[in-house]
Amino acid sequence: MTEDTRSRFSVAHTHLFPGAALRRLEGRGEGPCTLSLSDGVEPTATLEGHVLRVAGYTTAAGTRIGEQAWALDDEADGFRVTGRLDPA
């Protein structure tokens, strides 16, 4: 998958947590994707079925967020985070 066809999701927060919604902006399917967070930061991630693995990033305010993995449930226009997983 190229940078131009990877999935992109909008998140209305600066980080993910159980209950956070990921709205699909473009792309389909699994693989590399980009999250557009509310502070303008765009960490890279990988969608594997109903698991989202997010690379570490720094928020616009300077808070370091380490590598994370999240369980997801389907929503009509994307996914909802249901829990945190071991990122390994």
**pLDDT per position as a tens digit, 12-48:** 999 999 999 999 999 988 999 999 999 999 999 999 9
Token readout for 83 is 């829990």
**CB contact at 8 A, 31 and 41:** no
Which one, of 19, 1, 13, 17, lies nearest residue 41 by Cα?
13
Whether 56 has a pLDDT exceeding 90, the answer reads: yes
> Which of the four pLDDT bands, split at 50, 70 and 90, describes residue 87?
confident
Alpha carbon distance 88, 82 (integer Å): 18
Q: Is pTM beyond 0.85 here?
A: yes
H or E element at residue 48: strand 44-48
